[in-house]
Amino acid sequence: MSISSPNLNSLGIIAGGGHVPAEIASAVTQRGGSVYIISINEKPSRDLFAYPNSVISIGQIGRMLRLLRQNKCRSVVIAGHITRPNILKLRMDLGFFRYFRTIVSLFRGGDDCILRKIVSFFERQGFIVVGIPAVAPELVVKRGLLVGKDLASNDMQDVACGYELIQKLGSFDIGQAVVVRNKRLLAIEGVDGTDAMLGRIIMSSNTFLAASGALVKATKPGQELRIDLPTIGVTTVKACKKSGLRTIALEAEHTVIAEREQTINLANSFGISILGVQLAQNTLNSRDNIKIEASKLACLTLKTADSRHLLDACNGLMAGRIISAYATSPSIVVVRQHILAVNVGETLENFIYRATRLRQWGNTGELKRQGLLVLSSYADVTQRLPKILSDNNFAGIAIDCRRPLPTEFLKEANRLELFVLVCK
């Protein structure tokens, strides 16, 4: 579809944070198209104000649709980082309540499930949802070495390992980025994004290590490709430098570079190679190889897990077994059918604290216990653990372990009304 097509004239841009929405607007207008930008970010980029725009709350659904129609936007692109909202703090309009059932349906599932529902919602309103490659192809990574030295064999092995893991975890709707060094997993992206993941590595890394390892970014197998493409920019490259990484590998045709010239020049000055890799999509469902069903779980406490928690436990345990091939003793937090965070290097207590403060779509910040911790190692089971979970409003814990658990641990879990699940 060309930019002169009627569907791409008066393109509506639903803009989150970052530079990408403004870069899309620039690409479209330079080709003779026109745009109308609706910023749903509390602090919109100044670059957006060079184009016709409105700034609204993400809860003003009615106003958003009205603005798109008033400005004759038949096609819509959704781009930029969107902060997960606390529903109690949203500014809402009548449109929010008109489509309340649809909005409530967003409260369950992982990112891709939510994004598919968002695309479907706009399509039902009569809009054509397009992806960044259709309107700003110059932002998308192409195959080949973009900057830096050719990769050594050990670097390519790290890249291959990272892509393999992203492919295997695709059906669990986990993050689009991993960091691998010497074929071992250092971190997996959570809902807090790539830069936060790299920040955790910076906090834990030995700064005297020689530069090595790779940041690998790719779409998840089967992902909705019109929204939420993996993106890097200047901040990412700076974080990779501080993390001691020397390679950034990006899926060709499905990854975006923001502020491309500055990003590539900075990587070059740091001695970091950026590579576009063409992937063959994996159609294998890893769940078929590692199957854990609720009937295979035993509850060891007075407090029992309901069907939703059992499903969350199964998903977390299966994902944990896949990750265990790449990292020692991973731990996982699952909330409402969504793997919220994965830990492969933090202390368990810090991980629980971090995961508790991550927000899902529609999280009201209520005190009701929700979600569970999944452990891959018996070594992480301590008498203090139930208290830490209770203090952070977890409902329970699932452990991939068949050996007897300490009596004091189970007594404490019972006292605090937590459920404890183990594999039979």
- Say which CATH number the domain at 399 has: 3.40.140.80
What DSSP state is assigned to residue 104?
Answer: H
Check whether residue 271 and residue 298 sit in a common domain. Answer: no
CA distance linking residue 243 with residue 240, whole number of Å: 5
Is 181 a member of any domain?
A: yes
Check whether residue 354 and residue 266 sit in a common domain. Answer: no
Handedness of CA 71, 76, 79, 85 (dihedral sign): positive
Is 283 a member of any domain?
A: no
Pairing, β 256-257 against β 297-299:
unpaired
List C-alpha distances in Å: 109 to 61, 105, 311.
Answer: 21, 9, 12
Centre a 10 Å sphere on the Cβ of residue 202 and count the other Cβ atoms it contains: 14
Is 48 a member of any domain?
A: yes
Check whether residue 246 and residue 319 sit in a common domain. Answer: no
pLDDT at 1 (0 to 100): 44
List C-alpha distances in Å: 381 to 8, 357, 397.
Answer: 56, 22, 10
Check whether residue 84 and residue 188 sit in a common domain. Answer: no
pLDDT at 222 (0 to 100): 83
Is 242 a member of any domain?
A: yes
Q: Yes or no: say if 219 and 176 are a contact pair by the CB < 8 Å rule.
A: yes
Check whether residue 390 and residue 406 sit in a common domain. Answer: yes
**What is the helix (H) or strand (E) element at residue 196, kind and residue range?**
helix 194-204
DSSP 12-57: EEEE-BSSHHHHHHHHHHHTT--EEEEE-SSS--GGGGGSSEEE--
Structure-token match 């960091």, residue found: 179
pLDDT at 204 (0 to 100): 82
List C-alpha distances in Å: 373 to 157, 348, 380, 385.
Answer: 31, 10, 11, 10
Check whether residue 337 and residue 397 sit in a common domain. Answer: yes
Handedness of CA 222, 224, 227, 228 (dihedral sign): negative
Number of structural domains found in the chain: 3
- Alpha helices, H only, 47-147: 61-70, 94-98, 100-104, 111-124, 132-135
pLDDT at 316 (0 to 100): 96
CA distance linking residue 100 with residue 164, whole number of Å: 39
Is 1 a member of any domain?
A: no
Is 284 a member of any domain?
A: no
Check whether residue 296 and residue 418 sit in a common domain. Answer: yes
Parent domain of 159: 140-277
Check whether residue 112 and residue 173 sit in a common domain. Answer: no
Is 282 a member of any domain?
A: no
CA distance linking residue 302 with residue 239, whole number of Å: 46
**What is the helix (H) or strand (E) element at residue 202, kind and residue range?**
helix 194-204
| CATH number, position 68 | 3.40.50.20
Among the candidates 135, 161, 179, a domain finishes at 135
Check whether residue 359 and residue 399 sit in a common domain. Answer: yes
Is 178 a member of any domain?
A: yes
Check whether residue 50 and residue 124 sit in a common domain. Answer: yes
**What is the helix (H) or strand (E) element at residue 225, kind and residue range?**
none
pTM: 0.90
* Helices 194-204 and 234-243, axial angle in degrees (round to 10): 20
CA distance linking residue 37 with residue 56, whole number of Å: 11
Among the candidates 135, 167, 193, a domain finishes at 135
Structure-token match 């393999």, residue found: 164
pLDDT tens for the chain, 424 residues long, are 444 453 568 999 999 999 999 999 999 999 999 999 999 987 888 899 999 999 998 889 999 999 999 999 999 999 998 776 666 677 877 877 787 777 766 666 566 677 788 899 999 999 999 999 999 999 999 999 999 999 999 999 999 999 999 999 988 888 799 999 999 999 999 888 999 999 999 988 644 456 899 999 999 888 889 998 999 999 999 999 999 999 999 999 999 999 999 999 999 999 999 999 998 765 455 555 667 888 999 999 999 999 999 999 999 999 999 999 999 999 999 998 889 999 998 999 999 999 988 855 455 555 577 889 999 988 889 999 999 999 999 999 999 988 899 999 999 999 999 999 999 8
Among the candidates 242, 277, 312, a domain finishes at 277
Check whether residue 128 and residue 151 sit in a common domain. Answer: no
Check whether residue 203 and residue 91 sit in a common domain. Answer: no
